[in-house]
Amino acid sequence: MSRAQGCSHTRGGGGCNGGSCCLTPAQAAHSPLCPLLDTTLHPNLPPISPSSSFPGRMQVRGLLLLLVLILLAATTEAGKTKKEKAKKDGSKCEDWRWGPCVPNSKDCGLGYREGTCKDESKKLKCKIPCNWKKKFGADCKYKFESWGGCSAQTGLKTRSGILKKALYNAQCEEIVSVTKPCSSKIKSKSKAKKGKGKD
């Protein structure tokens, strides 16, 4: 057998001498001793090509290209949405002047406010609270402290608030105070105490 086709194993476990692997072509194909077997010495073995991982690289490139296309589509869609919003608004005027919130019925609840800018006008939805905040309207926003104790003289609780935000250039007071009646339990207790005092 010629050395180009292979050689027999040595008792030392086999090896490579003189740049060629001392294994038969069939053994060398499955042996870790000759990972870089020269195919010129073993013409029966398939050549080792660096392009054997080419399909895997193509898959990675394909995924990257797909991600780029998805990002481009998302960016384009966002741009279209902004343009559509601008078209719906249809106004380039910036110096808008808004009136107070006008409820649709009674003196609180849902309503609208009207704005004007040069020759343009439009309406926006708004809401006036129907609870104890009603007196401050829809545009004056306050930060209130906790309710105080019940006053035995007036039978009322008091709390104050500091202006947090004034919407639509509304004229708001910096500090306000509100009151509400004490609970019925406290009233009944105070009446009972008065009755005992009379006796």
- Residue 52 pLDDT: 52
In the numeric block, the tokens 């609870």 are attached to 131
Q: How far is it, in rounded angstroms, from Cα 153 to Cα 187?
A: 11
Q: Which two tokens stand for residue 94?
A: 């910036």
What is the tens place of the pLDDT at every residue in 65-121?
Answer: 888 999 888 887 776 655 555 444 566 788 889 999 999 988 999 999 999 998 889
Q: What DSSP string describes 23-59?
A: S-HHHHTT-TT-TT--TTT-TTSPPP-GGGGHHHHHH
* 96-138: CATH class: mainly beta
What is the tens place of the pLDDT at every residue in 157-199?
Answer: 999 999 999 999 889 999 999 998 998 654 455 555 555 555 4
